[in-house]
Structure 1
Amino acid sequence: MSTDQSSWPSLAEDHILLKFHARLPKIIEEAGHSDIWGVKLSTAEPPEFSTLIILQKYLRSTSNDLEKSVVNLTKTLKWRKEFGLDKKKEQGTEEEEDFGPDFDGLGYVTKVGKDNGRDDIVTWNVYGAVKDLKKPFGDLQRFLRWRIGLMEKAISYLHLEKATIPIHDSSSTATETNNIDIYKIDQIHLYGGVSFLRMDPLVKSASKATIEIFQNHYPELLLRKFFVQVPLIMSWMFTAISLFVSVETSKKFQVISYPTNLAKELGNPNDIPKELGGNGPDLKMLQQRLEGKI
């Protein structure tokens, strides 16, 4: 991990970020765990850059409420330990869990180039690929392991453990330029071929559980969420979904009825499939490109 803080803004001794860092030993001791999003939280002085990145995200998610941030991070570390998310890393094995054909074609992770020279990491959920709802959604815990695994894979491409660009204060005095957090992910849900007449109870249960976990344990990681191929008449449903998330999260939601309009919102058309308005190959090949397999 990098301990070079040359690009991090100067912090006063009583800065809330340093106060949060001072609480880390007790947080880690209580949780019995210190790994999160590819970063092993460090109590070393001076604070490690990657550790400050994680702490700043938690502070932003609570509008700089230190006590809430401490509670939330503790809960997340406990949850990660109980869920076994970091076991493979701790054991030195990084192989992805194989969920079998029930999840084939249901989710992908790709990157989309931006005009600023950076890449946005994107997760794709292809709900139209589901032919038998009982297969991916019938076992809720199995589905959650798969969906969380997709999110963890996407986060790994943010390379938080090697971060060198800071996340500045989200205070009212921060300027728009230095307030940007580049460590976020676009989420895209494709609904082509999905019936909107009635939400299946299995899907409803899986969606509710996923939203709760992401809200509680993945703060400040969502850049934008697109609901694509949604019939115009059903747009109200996604307005209803926004009632179950925070106001800040709901502001990031965007419904797109015509799939070819998606490319206009994302970036480099060569990183977006043709059927979604781009010039690129299908999602499977785009993921293989990100993985360095082609």
Structure 2
Amino acid sequence: MSTQEVTQETQTGHEPTPVEPTQEPQNALTEKFTAEEWDALKAFRAKIPDVLASAYPDKIHSKTTAIKLWGVTIDPADLLDARVSVVLMKFLRARYLNVSEGKTMLISTLRWRDEFNVEAACNETYPQDVFGELGHISGRDKQGRPVVYNVYGGNQDLKAVFGDVQRFLRWRVAFMEKSIELLDFETNDQMIQVHDYLGVSMTSRDANSKNAASEASSIFSGHYPELLFKKYFINVPSYMTWIFWLFKPLLPSATLAKMSVVGSGASTIGKALLPEIDAKQLPKRYGGEADAF
């Protein structure tokens, strides 16, 4: 019987440690799972029928009916699929491989997607003059991950953007889902996000924008786990830098490791982004060579 070694880079920087061979369907991402992660995943799989029953209590045969999450079909009758393993692992990693807590998170996510009607939000048409400059997906990093830009100063008309908070949230979720479409869950399952605060000040925020930001943060932290590789905050006003450092001790180390606060100007931003993103993929406004937005 042929076997396949799954390896994990140790935190000490030593050579990869072999993990026990498995008969699991593999791809480039599952090959990086640790033995502990495989054990948690196998236990998690056994709970998927109950997850579906809890998420869709009013649907007949929910325990045995396949669903789609981020373009990946999760069929309780056939869970031995590498892409499914990658998706399920996200919920486990977000909860430190605690199977019970991962189950709770997945149930909550599936319920929210149903209640929010994510599919309808993705099919909705949003006014280009309001939202067109707020979000851009442009290029990929050196490892093939998509790069997503959130340009908070892209529209200074706050009433147009945030006057209807629920419309903003539908647009924001649809934009996130569009970003996820670029993940194949075979070679890449995360993205880089660049948050551009050029033109944003304390006085440019109103109650609606603050509520929208709070709700969006809750949605993404609760229902889009482990989809972020790195997050760069660029053109950050000095007061926001101060706030970041104030709350730095409260952030989990794993989250903090993904975040970088960068100054202003194409040269400064380029120095931070070019190690991850090739110049031909990075917009000129951020120190690259790409003719992008």
Name the stretch that deviates more: 202-211 or 71-80: 202-211
Task: Extract unaligned runs of 5+ from structure 2.
Answer: 1-23, 57-61
1:241 CA drift (Å): 6.1
What's the TM-score, normalizing by structure 1?
0.77
Provide, for residues 51-98 of structure 1, a one-character-per-residue CA deviation record: whole Å limited to 9, x for no partner.
11111111111111000000100110111111111358xxxxxx7432
What residue is the counterpart of 2:13 in the other structure? none
* TM-score between both structures, scaled by the size of structure 2: 0.77
2:109 alignment partner, one of 73, 76, 79 = 76
1:134 and 1:241 mapped to 2: Cα distance? Answer: 29
Q: Work out whether 1:202 is the aligned partner of 2:230.
A: no
Q: Partner of 1:267: helix, strand, or coil?
A: coil
| Residue aligned with 1:80, SS | helix
Q: Is the 8 A contact 1:274 1:281 kept in 2?
A: yes
Please state how far the C-alpha of 1:185 moved relative to its aligned partner. 1.3
Q: What residue in structure 2 maps to residue 173 of structure 1?
A: none
C-alpha distance in structure 2 between counterparts of 1:244 and 1:79, whole Å: 27
Cα distance between partner residues in 2 of 1:103 and 1:198: 17
Contact 1:21 1:47 in 2 (8 A): no
Checking the alignment, whether the CA contact within 8 Å between 1:184 and 1:222 is kept in structure 2 is: yes
Aligned with residue 23 of structure 1, among 36, 41, 47: 47
**Structure 2: how far apart are the matches of 1:137 and 1:17?**
40
- Report SS of the residue matched to 2:288: coil
Which residue of 1 is the match for residue 139 of structure 2? 111
Partner in structure 1 of residue 270 of structure 2: 263
- Per-residue CA deviation, residues 186-217 of structure 1 (Å, 9 max, x unaligned), is 11111112224564222211111111111100
**CA radius of gyration, larger in:** 2
Give the deviation of 1:124 after TM superposition.
1.1
Query: Compared with structure 1, are the counterparts of its residues 102 and 195 closer, same or farther at alpha carbon in structure 2 (3 Å cutoff)?
Result: same
Does structure 1 residue 129 correspond to structure 2 residue 154? yes
1:226 aligned to 2:253?
Answer: no
Structure 1 vs Structure 2 CA RMSD: 2.7
- Residue-pair matches, total: 252
Amino acid at match of 1:29: A
1:5 correspondence with 2:25? yes
2:125 to 61, 74, 98: 98
Distance, in Å, in 1 between the alignment partners of 2:219 and 2:184 is 22
Distance 1:138 1:242 in 2: 31
Paired letter, 1:99: Y
Q: Cα gap change, 1:58/1:234 in structure 2, threshold over 3 Å: closer, same or farther?
A: closer
Structure-2 residue corresponding to 1:236: 242
Residue 286 of structure 1 aligns with which residue?
Answer: none
Letter in 1 for 2:201: S
Deviation at 1:251, TM superposition (A): 3.1
Cα distance between partner residues in 1 of 2:176 and 2:168? 12
The reply to whether residue 85 of structure 1 matches residue 110 of structure 2 is no
| Alignment check: 8 A CA contact 1:107 1:124 kept | yes
Q: Which residue of 2 aligns with 1:174?
A: none
Which residue of 68, 86, 90 maps to 1:35?
68
Conserved 8 A contact 1:215-1:245: no
User: Compared with structure 1, are the counterparts of its residues 209 and 6 closer, same or farther at alpha carbon in structure 2 (3 Å cutoff)?
Assistant: closer
1:192 maps to which residue? 198
